[in-house]
Structure 1
């Protein structure tokens, strides 16, 4: 089984290292035959109406400074086009997951983008977008990035169908709130059992709120060798984390979309960790595939 996955070259402008590494991941996934890679349709910025503040959206679309660069990456047409292309991938992945059970967007996380500004290398919140465009469906984010999903937390307080569960090492302003739960875990000091306990809390929240769609932010920056990691998961523990989240979705027949997020080691190492996340997805959906972590 190959996981349906979306990627467009616009995601990864070569002159922006934080984005260019997505090309490394996409190429590795295709080379290993782990995914069926597809290009998403262009994203219509009109679909952002009512999600982000209109003045901010216009500033980002047209490069009006200083607002256009608030996310921490200097604005350029390539940065704008990358963000919009990734949002197109989010919508395509969600549509595919509803048909097949699972889909991937080979895109950065979006979880720091706030309603009125970009933040933390995230210009637009593609997690909240999935709730915004489907107001009749309950969307729950399971965010396992190193950094808490502060932006998604703010959107959860605004969108009655959005739920946000963040398990993180670095709080990044994420403290929990309306339809949002914040769990800080330092597995290196507290042990992996504490991380598994947080995943059990996430599972209980899934059962309590019965989402129609799960969105998994599979952060690679939780890895013990990542320069930003306070969580400190080993490669094997990250693989176990991924298996656990995918099983939550499969066992309840809830469609799941996942994105690759974070990761500040070199591009090849991040790509290997991202590939392990896809291997975990394949193992859960096809238990006899023989996939394993590397």
Structure 2
């Protein structure tokens, strides 16, 4: 599963990102001091919150649920960062693998905004964090389809007067470069194997409906470890172990970049299945290995 998962923290109803470095980039919200000695002549009216002098057509867009979009390739979007806790969310829809280029320009003088491309699962795919008002640029080739999110995050200062400009461009992704020597292996009948203990097998998940099935033989009872690693950053693969009758014995579906099963097994034939929970890659292979766990 993905290695970089972002935690979403709500502060004063605005999301601040933690984990993967974003928490350090989001400026803290400082509470206003409380007057513990009120004036005896009356109550002082609270100071009005400054409002942007220019209307932002995309607000409110402070969370994934409120994200503005879908963004259209080649079109410029001008928005404002109105306070230090203001994070602007946009989304785009991908119906075929694409190479995405996202640029953030016209950052106000004295301000420093950063740019992030993330998945629906809050996984950071690419980011740009140049210093000061220097333009930000990210490029990423998707191997899956669906909704992706673009975040504009103020690292330092902001401007209610000067808008930034956001633009995305798309081009068809290169054809998958991987060669899979084990396909077709989508069913128990087509299973690749028997696997050799200690050998690493590299293969690909070609789409979210692809299941890779392998078989191995246990000659005498013992604890067997099955390790799935090198899962692509954009993807979330899970690992399953079945007996010869096709009954599920155990699975591994953790939120990490690898999966592992350790199980005592008696003599017989067993099956391993690798499936996509989300995302896939025809360019980045996963690695699968089985081993006997020594007592």
Same fold (TM over 0.5): no
The normalised TM-score by structure 2 is 0.24
Structure label with greater radius of gyration: 2
Name the one with the larger helix percent: 1
Structure with a larger share of its residues in strand: 2
